[in-house]
């Protein structure tokens, strides 16, 4: 065999090898298993649709404690942040000036009563003398008029004494309501002005108000849902989602509503009352108020991960006839927990891909494993 013949044999061998490898590759490609995906079966269910608003907790009964008196604080019976009962002593304002006012008013009353007593004795004598024509009618009338003046003087002195005694009593500042005080730093030695100095603020812990606002469309949606709801007891049931994600265990209802929409924001302000027996809700806390707008009896819910956004259009992969994947455009509604409400595009009984969608091409045959929707959300259907 010459060199040329050997070269031809090697070339033919390499060509045969390439053909065999190509054929094997084609055979392996044709026999590749379909991608495995997890699907859920769409089932309509009864779902309450809620609206959510950002609210802030307020005390239903909150009092700024002031005093009608001016003076220096000489005693403090409580500490900041303390829980107090109604009528409990809070502060003592220096009573010395007010004690002297009581003594002075008492002296003026005694003087007025003594003058009136002397005049009435004189009036009694004049009455006897008048009957004997020993004095003139004018003298008697003058004494009678003076008696009325002295009686008025006694009445005025009693009023001044009562006022002085009330002032002295109010030097001891009492809690007007039961509740928790703020952390006021007003200490012994401070001088307070009547009617202007806030000694402390007390808030009653139970119940509380949650203030929130809603738009005109949200207001109309709620009103329409109430008009079609048979149970009036459920119309005003609100719940609170706290900042840590937990749901407040007590429900509330709207008790106050503004007279109209705010001109600047176009929103309506409402206040809802909630029980707060354990004092969990504190004034100033933020809370998400949730209200049921309507209840859908045939709502279709899908996990959020099943919905893909393609150029601004929500899409869902559906496993259809022949186990082939199909991309389907849908119309989504509001989110409910970790689920999307699908308004249009899906029918009951259809299977949608929730896991492995990135491995699937439209028209491709897939191997589908049906799983439960609860695996992808903490929100369970009722």
Q: How much is the pLDDT for 274?
A: 92
Q: Are 185 and 197 in contact (CB under 8 A)?
A: no
3-7, 103-107, 119-123: which range is least confident on average? 3-7
Residues 6+ away with beta carbon under 8 Å from 124 = none
Most confident listed range (140-149, 271-280, 332-341) = 271-280
Using one digit for the tens of pLDDT, what is the confidence trace for 350-379?
888 888 888 888 888 888 888 888 777 654
Residues 6+ away with beta carbon under 8 Å from 318 = 325, 326, 327, 328, 346, 350, 351, 352, 353
pLDDT at residue 2 is higher than 60:
no
pLDDT at residue 51 is higher than 70:
yes
What's the start-to-end Cα distance of the chain, in Å?
A: 87
Percent of the chain with pLDDT over 70: 86
CA distances from 282 to 44, 237, 275 (A): 40, 21, 12
Q: How much is the pLDDT for 336?
A: 75
CATH architecture of 95-170: Orthogonal Bundle (1.10)
Class of the CATH-defined domain 51-60+205-295: mainly beta
Q: How many CB atoms lie within 10 A of CB 47?
A: 20
Q: How much is the average pLDDT of 167-184? A: 87
36-46+297-376 maps to which CATH number?
Answer: 2.40.420.20
Most confident listed range (28-37, 166-175, 236-245) = 166-175
Instruction: Give the strand pairing for 200-203 and 179-181.
Output: antiparallel
* Fold of domain 67-93+171-203: OB fold (Dihydrolipoamide Acetyltransferase, E2P) (2.40.50)
Domains of the chain, by residue range, sit at 36-46+297-376, 51-60+205-295, 67-93+171-203, 95-170
DSSP secondary structure letters along 217-265? HHHHHHHHHHHT-S-HHHHT-EEEE-TTSPBPSS-BEEEEE-SS--TTT
| 76 strand-pairing partners | 91
Candidates 156, 151, 161, 157; CA nearest to 116 is 151
Q: Which residues of 337-352 are buried (b: 16+ CB within 10 A; e: fewer)?
A: eebbbbeebbeeebbb
Q: Give SS3 for 278.
A: coil
Q: Is the previous residue joined to 351 through a cis bond, with omega within 30 degrees of 0?
A: no
CA 329, 331, 336, 337 torsion-angle sign? positive
Q: Give SS3 for 1.
A: coil
- What CA–CA distance (Å, rounded) separates 286 from 284? 7
pLDDT-derived band of residue 228, with 50, 70 and 90 as boundaries?
Answer: very low
Q: Rounded to 5 degrees, what angle do the CA atoms 55, 60, 62 make? A: 115
In this structure, what token pair is assigned to residue 303?
């996990």
Percent of the chain with pLDDT over 90: 6
């Amino acid at each position: 065999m010459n060199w040329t013949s050997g070269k031809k044999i090697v070339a033919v061998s390499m060509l045969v090898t390439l053909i065999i490898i190509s054929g094997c590759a084609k055979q392996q490609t044709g026999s590749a298993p379909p991608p495995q995906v997890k699907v859920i079966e769409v089932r309509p269910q009864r779902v309450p649709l809620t609206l959510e608003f950002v609210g802030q907790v307020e005390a239903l009964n909150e009092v700024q404690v002031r005093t009608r008196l001016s003076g220096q604080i000489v005693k403090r019976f409580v500490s900041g942040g303390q829980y107090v009962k109604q009528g409990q002593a809070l502060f003592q304002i220096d009573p010395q000036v007010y004690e002297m006012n009581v003594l002075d008013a008492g002296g003026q009353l005694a003087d007025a009563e003594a003058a009136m007593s002397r005049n009435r004795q004189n009036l009694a004598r004049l009455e006897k003398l008048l009957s004997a024509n020993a004095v003139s009618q004018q003298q008697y009338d003058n004494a009678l008029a003076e008696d009325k003046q002295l009686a008025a003087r006694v009445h005025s002195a009693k009023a001044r004494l009562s006022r002085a005694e009330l002032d002295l009593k109010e030097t001891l500042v009492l809690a007007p309501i039961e509740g928790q005080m703020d952390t006021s730093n007003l200490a012994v030695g401070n001088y307070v002005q009547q009617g202007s100095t806030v000694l402390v603020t007390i808030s009653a812990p139970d119940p509380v108000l949650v203030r929130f606002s809603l738009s005109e469309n949200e207001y109309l949606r709620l009103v329409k849902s109430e008009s079609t709801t048979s149970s009036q007891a459920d119309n005003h049931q609100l719940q609170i989602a706290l900042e840590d994600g937990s749901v407040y265990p007590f429900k509330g209802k709207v008790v106050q509503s503004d007279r109209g929409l705010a001109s600047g924001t176009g929103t309506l302000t409402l206040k809802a009352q909630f029980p707060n027996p354990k004092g969990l809700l504190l004034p100033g806390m933020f809370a998400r108020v949730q209200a049921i707008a309507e209840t859908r009896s045939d709502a279709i819910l899908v996990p959020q991960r099943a919905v893909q956004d393609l150029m601004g259009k929500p899409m869902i992969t559906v496993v259809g006839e022949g186990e082939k994947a199909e991309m389907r455009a849908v119309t989504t509604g509001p989110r409910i927990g970790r689920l999307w409400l699908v308004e249009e595009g899906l029918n009951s009984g259809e299977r949608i891909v929730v896991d492995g969608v990135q491995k699937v091409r439209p028209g491709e045959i897939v191997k589908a494993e049906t799983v439960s929707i609860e695996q992808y959300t903490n929100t369970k259907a009722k």
